Structure 1
Amino acid sequence: MTKTYNIGVEATIDVIGGKWKPVILCHLQNNGRMRTAELKRAIPTITQKMLTQQLRELEKDSIINRRVYNQVPPKVEYELSKYGQTLGEILSSLCYWGEFHVEKMYEQGESVTLNQQDYINIPKT
């Protein structure tokens, strides 16, 4: 079966779209290699089941690498693959724009907080 995309962004969204994949990828880009529990702590509103599902899909698409250590207790780490690192500018732009948007909301008097930021000065509460 042939996949058909009408515009390139469709192919991008097909791989990294959804609520959680960009968040997972930004954490891996910013923090490097992370264990499952570290990702879960960094994304407290994601369920364990959803995190596992999203990690498996990203691994299947060669966006992340899964490294399993043969030890007790088992240790598994995830990191961006070389191919996944090609998303660097896209992920940075998404993060930056989100921070810019939160700053705009804050300036308009909306009640908003941003727990992790890299670029702009939004008061943390």
Structure 2
Amino acid sequence: MSHPRPDPVTGFSCGLDATLRLISGKWKPLIIYFLRDEPNRYGELKRAVRGVSDKVLIQQLKELEADGIVVRRDYREVPPRVDYALTPLGRSLAGALTPLCEWGSANLDAVAALFAERAKWRERAG
């Protein structure tokens, strides 16, 4: 089987390559997922995306905004009020991520067992 060559214009080998580069990192898919239904303020996102540091969450939000996936709305109020929402492109991406979420939910026990086995393997190898 031959492997596809990267597109000379975009540099992507396929659509999946383009998507994965856009959502690369541990947190971007979760941010997109938690914004899928409605805008969220920063604090709501921070609580939803458990384990992410403030620095990384801010960085990821800025990258998603720069990529046209998320829009940041500043209401110019005192105290400050800012929220984040998906753009139309971001909403279409969230729709594409939904089946992955459903698969993960349906296979949660199997995935948890795989990660437990992986941890044991690493302990034996380490």
> Counterpart of 2:36 in 1: which secondary structure?
helix
> 2:102 corresponds to which letter in structure 1?
Y
2:35 & 2:86 partners in 1: Cα distance?
6
In structure 2, the partner of 1:11 is 18
Q: 5+ unaligned residues in a row in structure 1: which ranges? A: 112-125
> Counterpart of 2:107 in 1: which secondary structure?
helix
In structure 2, the partner of 1:70 is 76
2:60 maps to 1:87: no
Rg (Cα) greater in structure: 2
Matches within 5 A, 1:12-91: 12-30=19-37, 32-91=38-97
> Counterpart of 1:45 in 2: which secondary structure?
coil
> Counterpart of 2:102 in 1: which secondary structure?
helix
- The CA deviation at 1:5 is 1.1
TM superposition score normalised by structure 1? 0.77
In structure 2, the partner of 1:96 is 102
2:111 & 2:62 partners in 1: Cα distance?
34
> Counterpart of 2:105 in 1: which secondary structure?
helix
Q: 5+ unaligned residues in a row in structure 2: which ranges? A: 1-8, 117-126
TM superposition score normalised by structure 2? 0.76
- The CA deviation at 1:105 is 4.6
CA contact (8 A) 2:32 2:94 kept: no
CA contact (8 A) 2:69 2:86 kept: yes
CA RMSD of the aligned region, Å? 1.9
Alignment coverage as a number of residue pairs:
107
More helix per residue: 1 or 2? 2
- The CA deviation at 1:94 is 1.6
> Counterpart of 1:70 in 2: which secondary structure?
coil
